[in-house]
A and B are shown apart, each in its own frame.
Chain A
């Protein structure tokens, strides 16, 4: 990331004893408030829209809403891991596109291919891309923004080379495989359940699993993390690997949901994903944020998009509102960070 610029909000100084208790509790409260804020926003948008157009709360509409959020939320989980370490992965959209087409093409030639193989191939492609991103970034110590921008181009190019003007069409995708992307229980798509489980697992790990906590340490202060004995290179590499793997999985899910794949599948996703992650409260300079927040960010953006359709506001407004929301979210985060800083400082002064 850019090295200079406003110094990232300083992490709470680990003072000793009881003095740290109050600030820590407050930090927890703030980060929880951040997620609750998004939930509140989602609920408000949902209720207001339902008031205007009762069809919005109907099962089908909700199902559509959840299905539309899944892919961005899934990629957002991987992106969160990377951004938390003060890096960025711009290649997720291209990796998704490549994985979706290759798996689709395999199905077109081998109808009876087992589904497990489809997932394996897709995730494998993602892992390879993620490994390359991670290796180049950590071994050569070059900025991830440039590396993953290059990967965005190269992977999209390889995709176009393989696609060669063709297209995967729904007829060649087995119905059993499409089930996951289209079927639902009580209007909750299986896809959403699947993605929610993955996000839950990653979210739990990010909370309680030591190597995952290292990611936050690296993002807060890379030098301090290295001095504290954290293998920073290996951790950052793993973050890229997981982000790539999830993008590859995203490709398989894309295929099962839409069943048509052209060479442009997933292009432009990188900015959607980063927008969702940032709206969800993940600091772009690393060190803080949760996968749950990122998923909620994706859900909020998608709820607003769908709400505009339901409220019969012209779809032309979607982008402008999404952009405005993103700016509002980061401005709000900044405001919150300043407040927390001030409170921490006065707490310290009170303790000494």
Chain B
């Protein structure tokens, strides 16, 4: 679909009779609708969970729900911004694996743990910049670039650590996998996610940077002529994504108290699924952090509820898929109905001769 006909189809940006673009109000309306659906889904899944198991609403279970989705949710935040600009980053989970590998490798070489973590974060930033350069400077399609770096990052991790695994990290740090933040039932990863989500939400929805991100996604050329440095914004979003995914890799390493090259293999699809489930349009230009946070909560609750009643994790994939499908079908339904009606009306009318 070309950007042009997307604009035509999108009621949120249809010009009003007086020529003004009525983006904000209709845009918020469209957002509200999908987020309301998500909220209803969340309540339904909490209700369902409490029905199938009395453990679901217990405090410790709340901790585990968060623990299971924490890293995925953190990686979803920068990806949300990237998808809103109309691009994609599929290398997120490989970056998590590479970061986990580096933390383990450097720690095994005798680096102090904070230095190993810093090393992993720098690698993440550099990896993200590599994606950014390939997409913005060379102008390559992001989906192909990041499938390439998905393989490349995982491959580098494999070369570095081979089939070894590194353990023996300081207990104080590996406790993030067992203990919640003191005086709460929140896992550390979720606490960090929520704090980050607030920052991302403010930046995306209430600052010029956020407006630029949306502008790029809606009409890249128009944004460029309006003075947005399109390539620079995209470049830094990729760099940010690399850094944040490396950070998620550090958390992942401490949560499992193990560093392996295959950490988080295949998670990229889960991260993309959460972003899309949050109502972010894959064509760019539309989406919200609130939606992504709600989608994370829905996924976490459903996953935990099904695990409590012993549904195979592979079978749970069906739910993920169906929700994903709904997330694109529901916002499109009004348009589909309108189109169907128009076609019917056209068929009833006698053909002009």
Contact = CB atoms under 8 A, between A and B. Distances in A.
Contacts of B154: 319, 323
Given A275-B147, A323-B152, A4 B159 contact: no
A316 B283 contact: no
A121 B219 CA distance: 46
B2 A6 contact: no
B324 A150 contact: yes
Contacts of A274: 144, 147
Interface residues of A, number: 58
A2 B324 contact: no
Contacts of B325: 136, 146-147, 150, 154
A5 B141 contact: yes
Given A3-B284, A334-B138, A153 B318 contact: yes
A143 B328 contact: yes
Nearest to A8: B141
Contacts of B9: 141
Given A151-B321, A158-B318, A316-B159, A284 B152 contact: no
A182 interface: no
B175 interface: no
Interface stretch (A28-36, A57-65, A68-76, A263-271): A263-271
B57 to A, nearest CB: 26
A4 B151 contact: no
A301 to B, nearest CB: 10
B288 interface: no
A149 B272 contact: yes
A330 interface: yes
A6 B151 contact: no
A284 B146 CA distance: 12
Contact of A149 (B141, B217, B324): B324
A160 B282 contact: no
* Majority-rule SS of B interface residues: helix
Interface string B135-169: 00011111111011111111110110010000000
Contacts of A323: 148-155
A234 B328 CA distance: 21
Given A147-B328, A153-B318, A330-B144, A5 B282 contact: no
Contact of A157 (B273, B315, B336): B315
B276 interface: yes
A235 to B, nearest CB: 15
Interface in A297-351: 314, 316-324, 326-327, 330-331, 334
Contact of B317 (A142, A153, A314): A153
B296 to A, nearest CB: 17
A147 to B, nearest CB: 7
Interface string A102-143: 000000000000000000000000000000000010011111
Interface string A76-89: 00000000000010
Nearest to A326: B148
Contact of B5 (A88, A139, A223): A223
A350 to B, nearest CB: 26
B324 A316 contact: no
Contacts of A143: 1, 282-283, 328
B89 to A, nearest CB: 11
Which among A4, A88, A151, A324 has the highest number of chain B CB atoms within 10 Å? A4
Interface in B103-162: 134, 138-145, 147-156, 158-159, 162
B315 A153 contact: no
A286 to B, nearest CB: 11
Contacts of A1: 1, 143
B166 to A, nearest CB: 16
B155 A5 contact: no
Contacts of A314: 159, 162
B266 interface: yes
A174 interface: no
Contacts of B283: 2-4, 143
Contact of B152 (A141, A267, A285, A327): A327
Contacts of A165: 312
Given A5-B86, A222-B1, A331-B134, A285 B155 contact: no
Nearest to A221: B2
Contacts of B3: 3-4
A285 B141 contact: yes
A145 B320 CA distance: 15
B145 A2 contact: no
Contact of A278 (B144, B158, B272, B332): B144
A3 B152 contact: no
Contacts of A159: 314
B144 A326 contact: yes
Given A150-B322, A164-B312, 16 more contacts: A3-B6, A6-B139, A149-B276, A154-B325, A157-B314, A222-B2, A223-B2, A274-B147, A275-B151, A278-B147, A284-B143, A319-B151, A327-B152, A330-B141, A331-B140, A334-B140
Q: Lowest 10 A-B CB distances belong to which pairs?
A: A320-B155, A323-B152, A319-B155, A153-B321, A160-B314, A323-B151, A157-B318, A154-B321, A157-B317, A4-B86
20 contacts: A2-B87, A3-B86, A4-B85, A5-B141, A139-B336, A142-B329, A150-B322, A157-B315, A157-B317, A160-B315, A263-B314, A274-B147, A319-B152, A319-B158, A320-B158, A323-B149, A323-B150, A324-B152, A327-B145, A330-B140
Interface of B: 1-6, 9, 85-88, 134, 138-145, 147-156, 158-159, 162, 216-217, 219-220, 266, 269, 272-273, 276, 282-284, 312, 314-322, 324-325, 327-329, 332, 335-336
Interface of A: 1-6, 88, 136, 139-143, 145-147, 149-161, 164-165, 221-223, 263, 267-268, 271, 274-275, 278, 284-285, 314, 316-324, 326-327, 330-331, 334
